[in-house]
Amino acid sequence: MITFAAKMKRSFIFFFFLLLFSHCEKGEHQLPDIRSTSGQQAAISSGQGYAVNSSTTANQPSLSRKATRSGTKRKKRKALINFPQNTVPGLTVRSSDSTVLLRMNYLRSNGINPDLNEPVSKNYLFSPIDNRKTPSIITLGRESFIQLNFDNDILDYTDRFYTNGIKIEIISPGLQMNPVSRLLLPYWGSATNYYGLSLVQNMFTPSTTKTGGILHGDRPYAAYLYAGSFKITNDPTHRFRQTSELDAGIIGPNSYGEWVQRSFHNAVPTNNEPLGWEYQIKNDLVLNYSVTFEKGIIGVKNFDFLLSSTGNAGTLYTNVSGGFQVRSGWLNPYFANLGISKRQFLSDAGLRKFQFFFFVKGSGKVVGYDATLQGGLFNQSSSYTLPAGEISRVVFQGSGGVSLSLNGIRLDLEQFVLSPEFHDGWWHKWVHVAVSFSL
């Protein structure tokens, strides 16, 4: 049985290491084989007392033996390891924690910042050495980004269905401390994690906004606003990327979709004021969880091809989809990073500083629930929604575009096309613009 004191000791060590690594330099290195310190480990685990000499370096602390005999009877004492101040400042720990400290010492001295939200990272630090044949660890990405996304169908000369979308994303290693990140999907191999927050507002209208009243058989007015917390796990070795996100917000008038569209139309003299927003889907909770997997199939110079799958579950969308992406041009490998980096990071990794390529995407989606068509899951008081029998259960989406990036700035232009989302609906098009900056 593990005593209460032992539990408190383990908790203290874990939170100390979490705090310690929040101040470490970040990097990606191959993990050490801890068996290389077997001489030190054997001496420590033998029950004899040892201390680390303060004159040794941070990488290779040496051990000096302390006498532990008293009279004719040998008394067992709990040995202490005192790491040099430049390694673990002000910390004195027991010999039972020496394996953890040696691993921590190596990681810190090599600028490796493990993500202690991940089970594999904690297993690497806290598992007995002889149980770790192939050590794995997930590190924190060192870079920060901000991305501004804008969708609108005005460039396709329409004003209907999915008519406007705004999304702001920020990625930073400090967002690892966000409590919601503990709810995001873990990964079970060696990789790099990027944590981010997003703010999204999307709005939808019927096929025309110039006619008041309810247009039966058409799309209802709808808008939603939510904040999301997401994690991107990038594994370049296996050419695999995993993204999970938890979103929370509101659908309905309190999302301010009506205000945004009316303000835009009123600002352009040639636009008519949209009519019918009073019949939009009523206020309801948005709570959604999504997971996306991407797997590289072909990755050669100036060309790559990958497959993807996505699942959404919640009060806004419930669906599953699968698709592909093809890229060709002057580009870096898809899984080398997140597609944008500062000049210094690109130089260190031997990647292109300038990228210019074309891309094509395609996907098919099976729809279970869509609150923008069927209304909120809890509030059933909306004036007009589409019944479940009128929803298209299989939807296809395609896009093509161009991407241009130089050092820490990237611009994406993309044209989307979407098959009808409801019976007697129409195909729809819109343009997506994204600008990204490394911070």
Work out the average pLDDT over 143-165.
95
Q: What is the pLDDT of residue 247?
A: 98
156 and 243 part of one domain: yes
23 and 161 part of one domain: no
Q: What is the pLDDT of residue 346?
A: 92
Work out the average pLDDT over 159-176.
96
Work out the average pLDDT over 275-280.
95
**Domain-terminating residue out of 96, 118, 138:** 138
C-alpha torsion angle, residues 127, 129, 131, 135 (rounded to 10):
80
Give me the residue label for tokens 């098009």: 429
Q: What's the mean pLDDT when you consider all of the chain?
A: 82
252 and 311 part of one domain: yes
Question: What is the per-residue burial (b if ≥16 Cβ within 10 Å, else e) of 114-128?
Answer: bbbbbebbbebbeee
Structure tokens at 312: 């959404």
226 and 364 part of one domain: yes
345 and 431 part of one domain: yes
30 and 113 part of one domain: yes
Work out the average pLDDT over 386-401.
97
91 and 207 part of one domain: no
Structure tokens at 392: 């298209």
**Rounded percentage of the chain residues whose pLDDT exceeds 90:** 63
Residue 81 Cα distances to 22, 220, 227, 320, 438, angstroms = 23, 68, 46, 53, 42
Q: Which of 362, 361, 292 is nearest to 328 (CA)?
A: 361
pLDDT digits (tens, 9 = 90+) for 141-150: 989 999 999 9
Phi, psi (deg, nearest 5) at residue 189:
-150, -170
331 and 277 part of one domain: yes
Q: What is the pLDDT of residue 27?
A: 40
98 and 189 part of one domain: no
Work out the average pLDDT over 314-326.
98
pLDDT band, very low/low/confident/very high, at 127 (cuts 50, 70, 90)? confident
Question: Are the C-beta atoms of residues 262 and 235 closer than 8 Å to each other?
Answer: no
Q: What is the pLDDT of residue 31?
A: 52
Q: What is the count of structural domains for the chain?
A: 2
52 and 161 part of one domain: no
Q: What is the pLDDT of residue 93?
A: 44
Range of the domain at 327: 145-438
Residue 72 has pLDDT above 80, yes or no: no
The CATH code of the domain that includes 154 is 2.40.128.140
**Domain-terminating residue out of 108, 138, 168:** 138
Which range among 11-15, 133-137, 246-250, 404-408 has the greatest average pLDDT?
A: 246-250
**Domain-terminating residue out of 138, 157, 181:** 138
261 and 132 part of one domain: no
Residue 2 has pLDDT above 90, yes or no: no
Work out the average pLDDT over 113-134.
75
Q: What is the pLDDT of residue 269?
A: 73
167 and 278 part of one domain: yes
